Amino acid sequence: MRIATELYLKRLIVGGFEGVYEIGKNFRNEGMDRNHNPEFTCMELYVQYKDYNWMMSFTEQLLEKICVAVNGCPEAVVDGKTISFKAPYRRLPILDAIKEKTGYDLYDKSEDEIREVCRALNMEIDDTMGKGKLIDEIFGEFCEGTFVQPTFITDYPVEMSPLTKKHRSKPGLTERFELMVNGKELANAYSELNDPIDQEERFVEQMRLADKGDDEAMIIDHDFLRALQYGMPPTSGIGIGIDRLVMLMTGHSYIQDVLLFPQMRPEKVAKRDKTEAFTALGIAEEWVAPIQKAGFLTVEALGKLDRPGKLFQDLLDINKKYKLGLKVPVVDEVKAWVEAAAATLPTEAAE
């Protein structure tokens, strides 16, 4: 099962397609919560001779039009908050966002220095985390959830973006953005890295992180490297989570609400006593199923009944509705059943 369509669509760009996209299912080995499902729908788009600046403008115009088409206006209400998809959106470099929310300036900081910042912020970190992972953890902990209105978080460090072209004017950074809405990532995009030598070096660095224990590091894709060696034109690409987009546009708080076949927790199976438990009370076997149909699945539930006459009437109705043809008991028989069941209960339960 695929985790993304990215490298396959980029090979089509190498093959000469001016623009390609796919809306399809991806699969991630992740847990479930209100915003995550292991199987999800994603739209990926790649366009020749464009960069991440063009993609930001395209994205905000696209989302504004979608919101107007769905809601009749460029606004949607989610979790009681009014979110405006009216373009343009705020654009904020990720390190500026971290400085804004935590007070720490991470520009030009080494991995060890960023590790010290994490400790000062009382974060739980480990030795498997490289510079990019540490920055990602800080952003996720202190920044991501604060961006309710659509905000482009831009210019990620190279260590966080192994498939992204280096920034044209900011050393150590890349031309990448993530769109944050209602405290969650909605889209991820960048100016695509099309230098095969640089790409191979990035893959090697990812393998080094994997050796340290980073389970999110990428493996070397030799087929993709070979495609880049043929030559990929300057390209911009984006991935948008369609399920989260539907949640936002329709005002739903849980991703399960917008999936046709969501992953669900196993149903709780109600406790049900065996037939023998009821017949031991003097109840004829043929009446056990109707009693349970009436809602008394256990002897304990039957013993706690304080209105035997109601059960008597329910049994009459069930016998008639389902054409069981059973000999109807008298009220005193039903009362005796209930008394016998109550006699089996501990004193506290009977009370």
Average pLDDT over residues 303-318: 91
Cis ω on the peptide bond leading into residue 88 (within 30° of 0)?
yes
CA atoms within 13 A on the CB side of 117: 23
Separation in Å, CA 3 to CA 7, 29, 159, 161, 307: 11, 9, 21, 17, 58
Rounded to the nearest 10°, the torsion over CA 346, 348, 349, 350 is 80
Average pLDDT over residues 109-136: 93
Query: In the predicted model, is pLDDT for residue 350 greater than 70?
Result: no
Model confidence pLDDT, tens digit, residues 38-57? 889 999 999 999 999 999 99
Q: What percent of the chain has pLDDT over 90?
A: 71
Average pLDDT over residues 345-351: 65
Average pLDDT over residues 51-69: 98
Phi-psi region of 4 (alpha: psi -120 to 50; beta: other; left: phi over 0): beta
- Closest to 111 in 3D by CA, of 125, 92, 96, 94: 125
- Closest to 228 in 3D by CA, of 163, 157, 156, 173: 163
pLDDT of the residue at 285: 93
Model confidence pLDDT, tens digit, residues 314-332? 999 998 888 888 988 899 9
Residue 19 C-alpha from the chain's centroid: 28
Query: In the predicted model, is pLDDT for residue 265 greater than 80?
Result: no
Q: What percent of the chain has pLDDT over 70?
A: 97
pLDDT of the residue at 213: 75
Average pLDDT over residues 75-103: 96
pLDDT of the residue at 7: 85
Average pLDDT over residues 126-131: 88
pLDDT of the residue at 264: 66
Query: In the predicted model, is pLDDT for residue 218 greater than 80?
Result: no
pTM above 0.85, yes or no: no
Average pLDDT over residues 259-280: 82
Model confidence pLDDT, tens digit, residues 251-264? 998 898 998 887 76
pLDDT of the residue at 219: 77
Q: Which residues pair with 191 in a beta bridge?
A: 236
Model confidence pLDDT, tens digit, residues 328-344? 889 999 999 999 999 99
- Which residue would you say has higher pLDDT here, 215 or 339? 339
Rounded to the nearest 10°, the torsion over CA 134, 135, 141, 147 is -160
Model confidence pLDDT, tens digit, residues 222-254? 888 999 999 999 999 999 999 999 999 999 988
Summary mean pLDDT of the chain: 91
